[in-house]
């Protein structure tokens, strides 16, 4: 009953594509091969890019996008120009990650127009506006769809503009920079530099931060089934959504009792504020890998940048995803070919949804302020056929 209700909500709020078949090509130039979607190559204003997504959940909870061109909603003569990357790793359902995919970039363009530039403050405001928008949606639908209060998403954003790379993260997705310094260039050694800060209770510094913020909650982090979780419930300490852990008015009926916390709370237990890193691009900065934690569960930062550096650019995101899947199969002592036969839903027992975006930096384009054609690509997945959902008569959410 609950599953049917959430599927109905999905269809009403965010219209989805019907099931893709093997090697189907979509309007973004992406292709679908079973549960794997990929865009092997494309051009953003500062170089090449590659994207890939593999689905494990019955409904894809990872959402992603690449937007390249104007980064402002203003038609002024010199708006901020560049490339925007977003990786949104949802949990509890796809609703929050889909909401972010439809709203965050638009908020960023609006704030960039107001400030007439790109900045860390613009990105921070875009996160806040997206969080407030989803909170409003939950509030409006709480009496009819209380389960929406338990859905959330990690949010990783990278913006390249005017020779600067901004990395903003809430959750445990990761952005890793591949660098080749002259001192090591002869040996071909590429160096991995993680630019995103992670907010996962498995990290001791995150647990200390939570304990300092919530001294009146001695159980703010609990070790449950050998995994550290906030209140024994969720691993990430920052996210968009998860409003039942941020606003006490959603920690009550009609939300199901199994989700409600027994102890009252007066301040949010989770935060939507991103950690932001600002990096000035240099000639030794070759590329950046943005990926959900599904990738990093199966390979290290260094392994990932070495794969990118030593293989052709075309299809490199797909290569990373496949390497992760092969490692996942190996851990379960099974063949990769057999793992590929397992359908979505059941596949989640073997690995998570995995999203990878690799963006290369062409130094000459980064410094030249060149303006190429606008590009907009969104990662895709296999969705339930429309005829399996209740008919929808309401308009999509704004």
Q: Is residue 26 assigned to a domain?
A: no
Q: What is the residue-averaged pLDDT of the chain?
A: 88
Can you name the residues that pair with 213 across neighbouring β-strands? none
- pLDDT at residue number 395: 30
Integer Cα distance of 315 and 312 in angstroms: 7
Q: Does residue 1 fall inside a structural domain?
A: no
**Residue 27 domain-assigned (yes or no):** no
Domain count, the chain: 1
**What is the reported pTM?**
0.89
Tell whether 152 is covered by a domain. Answer: yes
Look at residue 395 and tell me if it is in a domain: no
Q: What is the pLDDT of residue 79?
A: 82
What six digits make up the tokens of 162?
A: 């005017």
Please give the pLDDT value at position 191: 96
14, part of any domain: no
Q: 109 lies in which domain range?
A: 33-182+189-200+236-379
Residue 285 inside a domain? The answer is yes
Question: Which CATH number do you get for residue 297?
Answer: 3.60.40.10
249: which DSSP letter? G
The reply to whether omega before 254 is within 30° of 0 (cis) is yes
pLDDT of residue 381: 78
Question: CA 79 from chain center: how many Å?
Answer: 26
Q: How far is the C-alpha of 224 from the C-alpha of 144, rounded, in Å? A: 31
> Could you tell me if residue 386 is inside a domain?
no
pLDDT 10s digits, 42-74: 999 999 999 999 999 999 999 999 999 999 998
């Amino acid at each position: 009953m609950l599953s049917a209700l959430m599927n109905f909500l999905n269809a009403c709020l965010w219209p989805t594509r019907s099931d893709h078949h093997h090697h189907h090509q979509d309007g973004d130039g992406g292709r679908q091969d079973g549960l794997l979607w990929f865009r092997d190559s494309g051009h953003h204003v500062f170089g090449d890019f590659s994207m890939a997504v593999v689905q494990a959940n019955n409904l894809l909870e990872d959402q992603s996008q690449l937007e390249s061109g104007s980064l402002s909603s203003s038609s002024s003569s010199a708006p901020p120009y560049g490339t925007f990357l977003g990786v949104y790793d949802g949990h509890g359902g796809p609703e929050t990650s889909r909401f972010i995919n439809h709203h965050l970039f638009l908020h960023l363009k609006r704030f960039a127009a107001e400030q007439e530039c790109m900045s860390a403050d613009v990105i921070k405001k875009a996160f806040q506006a997206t969080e407030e928008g989803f909170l409003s949606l939950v509030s409006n639908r709480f009496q009819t769809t209380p389960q929406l209060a338990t859905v959330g998403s990690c949010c990783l954003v990278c913006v390249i503009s005017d020779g600067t790379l901004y990395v903003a993260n809430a959750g445990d997705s990761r952005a890793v920079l591949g660098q080749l310094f002259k001192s090591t260039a002869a040996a071909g050694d590429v160096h991995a530099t993680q630019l995103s800060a992670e907010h996962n209770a498995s990290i001791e510094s995150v647990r200390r931060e939570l304990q300092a913020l919530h001294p009146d909650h001695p159980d703010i982090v609990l070790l449950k089934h050998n995994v550290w979780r906030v209140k024994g419930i969720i691993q990430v300490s920052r996210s968009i959504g998860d409003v039942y852990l941020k606003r006490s008015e959603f920690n009550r009926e009609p939300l199901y009792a199994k989700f409600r916390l027994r102890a009252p709370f007066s301040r949010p237990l989770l935060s939507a504020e991103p950690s932001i890193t600002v990096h000035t691009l240099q000639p030794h900065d070759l590329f950046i890998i943005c990926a959900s934690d599904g990738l990093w569960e199966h390979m290290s930062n260094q392994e990932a940048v070495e794969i990118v550096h030593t293989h052709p650019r075309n299809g490199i995101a797909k290569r990373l995803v496949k390497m992760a899947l092969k490692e996942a199969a190996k851990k379960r002592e099974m063949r990769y070919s057999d793992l590929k036969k397992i359908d979505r839903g059941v596949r989640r027992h073997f690995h998570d949804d995995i999203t990878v975006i690799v963006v290369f930096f062409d130094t000459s384009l980064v410094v030249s302020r060149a303006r190429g054609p606008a590009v907009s690509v969104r990662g895709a997945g296999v969705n339930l056929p429309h005829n399996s959902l209740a008919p929808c008569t309401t308009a999509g959410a704004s």
